[in-house]
Every structure is written in structure tokens, then in C-alpha cells.
Structure 1
Amino acid sequence: MSHVAHELHEEFPEHAEAIHNLKAGNAHFARLAEEYHTLNRAIHRMETNVEPADDATIEDLKKKRLTLKDEIAGFLATV
């Protein structure tokens, strides 16, 4: 599979250890990170036409991904 952009460790490289620790120790953060990962992979599949979708669907999913990223960033700002 080709490289998938927007992975959490790429979005927040300075917080790689904190992401790992939060995923292991905070169930809510772990759920957010998993939801982000799943959504990010789905967007990548759609953008590469592995699972074609219309532009409106992709844009809606990107907005959801951004909302998750903002919530994750909020967690990371407190570490």
C-alpha cells in the first residue's frame, strides 16, 4: 500500500511519545486516535480510487477528520 498522509505521528511528530502513552493510558484518547486512523485510511482509499466516492462525501469525511484532529490536539496541549 502506498504512503498514507495525515497519520497522527506525522501530524504531531513532537508528540509521538505522548500519543503512545495516551493511547495506552486513556481510553477516550485511544478511541479518538483509532477513529482518526480509521477515517484517515478511508479517505486515503477514496482519494486513490480504491473505494471511489463523490467529492461531497470525501469533503464531509475530511471535516470529521479535522474535528477529531482538533480534539486530539487539545489532549496533546495538556501534556
Structure 2
Amino acid sequence: MTIEHHDLHSEFPDMGDQIRSLKMKDRHFARLFDEYHEVDREVRKIEEAVEAASDERLEGLKMRRLHLKDDLYAMLKSA
């Protein structure tokens, strides 16, 4: 099973400059960015069987990651 990479630069490869700029200028974006990557790391640990978790926990983390990605994308589009 191949584990997909969900870091923002992989998700939005054409928005690298906006991501870097917002991380530097917008504290709210930077906080959400950090939270997104922390949740993504947790999901990958579970998917790679490094860490055990229930299906409900994994699905909850994936939903949180999706909501964060949607919020970050909206911020990137409006920048």
C-alpha cells in the first residue's frame, strides 16, 4: 500500500510562493499550516502502522486534515 503525501506543497504545487508568503505574513495561516502538518503526520504514522489507532480516530484525523486544507486553500485563493 502506497502512502500519499498530503503536505501543502504537494497538494498545491502551483501555490508555493503564496504558501511561503502567507506563512511569513499571516500568523493565523501559519498556525493552521502547522496544525495541518501535525495532523498529517499523525495520519501517516497510523497508516504506516507506526502508531495504533481506532478506525474512528483515523477517520476523525482525516476529516480534520480535510477541513484545515479547505480553510488554507480559501486563504491562499484570497491572497
Contact 1:4 1:41 survives alignment (8 Å): no
Amino acid at match of 2:39: L
Normalization by structure 2: what TM-score? 0.92
Name 1:9's counterpart in structure 2.
9
Name 2:57's counterpart in structure 1.
57
* Distance in 2 separating the partners of 1:51 and 1:14: 32
Normalization by structure 1: what TM-score? 0.92
1:50 aligned counterpart, secondary structure: coil
Alpha-carbon offset, residue 52 of structure 1: 1.1
Q: Deviations over 1:40-61 (max 9, x none)?
A: 0010001111011111110010
Name 1:21's counterpart in structure 2.
21
Name 2:40's counterpart in structure 1.
40
Amino acid at match of 1:43: V
Sequence identity (%): 42
Structure 1: 4+ residue segments shifted above 4 A: none
Alpha-carbon offset, residue 4 of structure 1: 6.2
